[in-house]
Structure 1
Amino acid sequence: MRHFFFDTDYGVFRTVDDVGTELADIEAAKTEARAAVADMAKDGLHGGDPRDFVVSVRDEAGRTVLRVTLALTTEYPAEGRE
């Protein structure tokens, strides 16, 4: 098992994980980071567009080993908005 830390950033909201999570490997960390980004986007939809949701994963040594980013943009084509 390895210890990973999940830092989040979406606009004005940033958190640094100082506790971390024990996971089997980097692939398990990727699964957790992707789920976290999806949850952040779901919870943060009311804050305006455009918005980037980012989870940076650090290892025990403090190195960033993975970053998952989801960009949310809403566009209104000139003919499509009423």
Structure 2
Amino acid sequence: MPHYFFDIHDHELSHQDDEGSEWPDTTSAQSQGRRLLADIARDEASRYDPLHLSVSIRDAQRRVVATCALSLASTPVG
């Protein structure tokens, strides 16, 4: 099964995944990247407005094969 690494980038830091994990294909790894972003956003949304997160997904040769990004902002009306 292919090995992928998920590097997380947010407001204050970047985390390079040195262990990685196995996923059947790039599409499955992208789905995992979106889940990671959703999980992080749940924890960070109350701390940052706007919130900008991204995940770079690398393959076993350490080449970036996909990216996922999430932006969340609120604007008062009235």
Instruction: Please give the TM-score of this superposition, normalised by the length of structure 2.
Output: 0.93
Residue of structure 2 in register with 1:32 after alignment: 32
Distance 2:32 2:22 in 1: 11
Q: Is 1:56 the equivalent of 2:35?
A: no
- 1:7-49 Cα distance to aligned partner (Å, 9 max, x none): 0011103210000001110111011101001001001112221
Instruction: Write the letter of the residue equivalent to 1:6.
Output: F
Query: Alignment length, in residue pairs?
Result: 78
Distance 2:66 2:29 in 1: 8
Identical positions, percent: 33
Higher gyration radius (CA): 1
Cα RMSD (Å): 0.9
Gaps of at least 5 residues in structure 2 are none
* Structure 1 residue 54 displacement after superposition: 0.7
Residue of structure 2 in register with 1:21 after alignment: 21
Gaps of at least 5 residues in structure 1 are none
